[in-house]
Amino acid sequence: MESNSPKDTLVRSQETESLVKRLAGPSSGKAGLAKDQTEINRIISDASKGSKFYENEKKKDKEVTVRIEKILKYKEEAFKNLDVAKVEASMDHLIEQLEEQRDLTQLIVHVDMDAFFANVELLDNPSLAGKTFAVVGKGVLTTASYEARKFGVRSGMAAFIAKKLCPHLILVENRHWRYSEISDQIMGIFHRYDPDMCPAGCDEGYLNITAYCEEHAMTAEECVREIRETVFRETKLTVSAGIAPNKNKPNGQYQLDFDAKAIKAFTHDLPIRKVPGIGRVSERLLEAIGIKASTCGDIYTQRAVISIMDKQFGLVYLLRTYLGISSNTVQAHTREERKSIGAERTFSTLHKLDDILAKLDEVAAELEKDMQEDGWVGRTITLKYKLDTYRVFTRAKSVDHWVSKKEELYAVRQMIHSSHLTNINILLDWQRPAPP
C-alpha cells in the first residue's frame, strides 16, 4: 500500500539511508568519511541493486530497524517511572570507581603497517608507484593503495564494485606466502622491544615498551621512532604507531598526553564507530538511543539509558571507553588459548547433493591437513553453510571422543538440510592439543 504522508516518506528515506550506508561496507565508516561519500555510496548501491546480495543486506538492515523499534519501546516504558537523576547519580558513582582504576604508568604502543598488502606489492613491483591499485583475493579487495582510496575503494569491497568507482583500478592478486614472510620479519623486530608483544593479525600488534624505555633511558616517542625506523630500514615498509589509543597514518606516530583530562578530551569528540568492537550495527543502535553526534562524549550524557539497557550495550565497556581506560596489559596469546580451527570455501551455487558432498570432502580434507600440521584435536564439530540467498545456517554436534580424521569431519553431511549452497565451513572447537 502506497502512502505519501510526510512521516512515511521520512521513515522510508531513513531506511534507505541506513541500507546505503550498510552496503558501503564495514570499513567505509571506520576509515573516516571521504568528502563525496554520499556519491560513492550511491554508486555502490546502484551497482548492487537487484542482486541477491543486495536483497540480503536489505533484509538484515530491516532486522536492525526492528531491533531499534523494540529498544525505543522498551526505553519509553522503562523511563515512565524512572528517577533519571537518581540513576545518573549512581552512574556518576560508578564512573568515579572506574576512574580510580586508571593507570597511567604503562607505555602502550599500537603499531600498524600502512596499507600492508598493497605496500608489499609496491615493494616487489615499483611500477605500481603512484597508481590506483588494489590487492584482490577471491573477488574481494584486501587492501587498496592510498591513490585508490581517494575514489572510495576500500578493503572488503567486491572487485567489480571497486571497478565502478574507479574504472582504471589495477587489480593485483593476493600473494599470501609473501605477506607471511614479511610479517615474520616485522614481528621479529617488534619482539626486540617487547618479548610479550601481542600480534593482532599479520600486520599489527600491541607492545608494552615501559621496560625497554627504562632500560635504554628513552622516552616513548624516541623508542617508537626507533621502532619505525628499524622496520623501514629492514623491510622498506612504513609503519604507523599510536602511543595510547590513537593512530596517525600513514608513516606517522602520535602520542596522547598521559593525563586523564587530555584523554577524556580526546574520547569526547571521537566518533564511536572508531572504537574497537563498535561496528555498523552497534553504531545504529547507539545512534537510536541518543548518541546523536556518534561521539564517545554522548556516552556520558546518555548514561541513564545505557545503564537500564546494560545487556544490549555493555554499560561498563562504554563507560570505560568514555573515560579512555582500557586494559593496559600486553600479553601474547599462548598456543593453549586457541579455541577453534576451521576451513571455509565459497563457490558458485551447487544444486546437486553429489556436487555439494564433493565440496564438503574438499573442505574436510583441508581441515584435517591443518589440524595435523598444528597438532590439534577437538570435540565439537560445527557445519556452517550459506545458501545462494546469502542466508547462513549453523549446525553443531559434540561427540564423546577426540576428532582428528577427515572421515569424522565429513560426517557433518548429515546436517545439511538444503540445496542451493554457495559456501561451506567446517569448524572444530577443541579442548586440548593432539597427543604426541
Partner DNA sequence: TACATACAC
Partner DNA sequence: TATGGTGTATGTA
- Smallest gap from Cβ 49 to DNA, in A, equals 8
Q: Which of 63, 103, 124, 214 binds DNA (CB under 7 A)?
A: 63
Residue closer to DNA by CB (options 133, 376) is 376
String marking each residue 194-223 x if it binds DNA according to CB under 7 A: ------xxxxx-------------------
Note whether 276 binds DNA by CB under 7 A.
Answer: yes
Distance, CA of 320 to CA of 103 (rounded, Å): 12
Residue 204 annotated to the active site: yes
CB 144 within 8 A of CB 155: yes
Pairing of strands 376-387, 392-403: antiparallel
Distance, CA of 12 to CA of 34 (rounded, Å): 25
- Smallest gap from Cβ 118 to DNA, in A, equals 14
Q: Catalytic: which of 57, 121, 204, 283?
A: 204
Note whether 150 binds DNA by CB under 7 A.
Answer: no
Footprint on residues 331-350 left by DNA (CB under 7 A): 337-346, 348
* Type of residue numbered 322: Y
- Smallest gap from Cβ 164 to DNA, in A, equals 8
Pairing of strands 204-208, 108-113: antiparallel
Note whether 279 binds DNA by CB under 7 A.
Answer: yes
- Spatial CA neighbour of 325 closest among 32, 29, 106: 106
φ, ψ (nearest 5 deg) of residue 9: -60, -40
Distance, CA of 313 to CA of 335 (rounded, Å): 31
- Smallest gap from Cβ 72 to DNA, in A, equals 16
Residue closer to DNA by CB (options 247, 260) is 247
Residue closer to DNA by CB (options 56, 226) is 56
CB 330 within 8 A of CB 194: yes
- Spatial CA neighbour of 175 closest among 142, 127, 128: 142
3-state secondary structure of 418: coil
Give the interface with DNA as residue ranges (CB under 7 A). 23, 25-26, 30, 44, 47-48, 51-54, 60, 63-64, 67, 137-140, 142, 155-161, 163, 200-204, 275-283, 311, 314, 337-346, 348, 366, 370, 379-380, 392-398, 422-423, 425
Question: Which active-site residues does the annotation give?
Answer: 204
